[in-house]
Amino acid sequence: MKRAFFYGDSNTFGYDPADYLTGRYPWKHRWTGILKDRLTGEWEIRADGMPGRVIPKPGRAVRFLADRVRAEMPLDLFAVMLGTNDILGTRHPDAERSAREMEVLLDAVQELGIPRILLIAPPRIELTDLSFDASYVQGDRSYAERYRSQGRELTRLYRELAARKGHLFADASSWDLDFAFDAVHLSEKGHETFAEEMTEIMREIT
């Protein structure tokens, strides 16, 4: 059975912004849990998601990630979905800088000898008024278009990066995903849809 490791932020963690106790959807309602059930006997799914996680910076943070990935090996696939917090967590989002940092991350993982790498462009950034009440969105309502455009640019740059490096690519920003009230985190329905899309992708990986 093949083994995959998904590395991401709160949407990989399964963060539920409406749950003030655990802040997390139950395992069976997270896309990683649903994916694991659907791919039983085909793929072993491991995941490391953390709310607020940004793309590791070159140097110490990337070395820490490499150590984390080594702990999960042997792996047939490393998949990463990061970038949303890099945009929403600053008033000066820079998709080009984020893509460069992602390239350093992917190069470090590739050096570990993992056969396949999957770069996932995060879900689209289409904020609502409620989004700006959340602590994880740094700008005010006037930043909505800036965040939207930088999210789209990041997707474009990720697509180009994956093609240039020979990695697999998935565009979650193009999927019809449902979000919680903050328009940042997936709803349970959104997790279900995400898992459906990812199941098809995983079954096409040889």
Rounded CA-CA distance 196/31 in Å is 8
Sheet holding 168-171, edge to edge: 43-49, 2-8, 77-81, 116-121, 168-171
Rounded CA-CA distance 152/82 in Å is 14
Go through the domains of the chain in sequence order and give each one's CATH number: 2-204 (3.40.50.1110)
| Per-residue pLDDT tens digits for 109-118 | 999 999 999 9
Q: Give the chain's length.
A: 206
pLDDT(29) > 80: yes
- This prediction's pTM: 0.96
Whole-number pLDDT of residue 19: 78
| Per-residue pLDDT tens digits for 48-59 | 999 999 999 999
Rounded CA-CA distance 6/48 in Å is 6
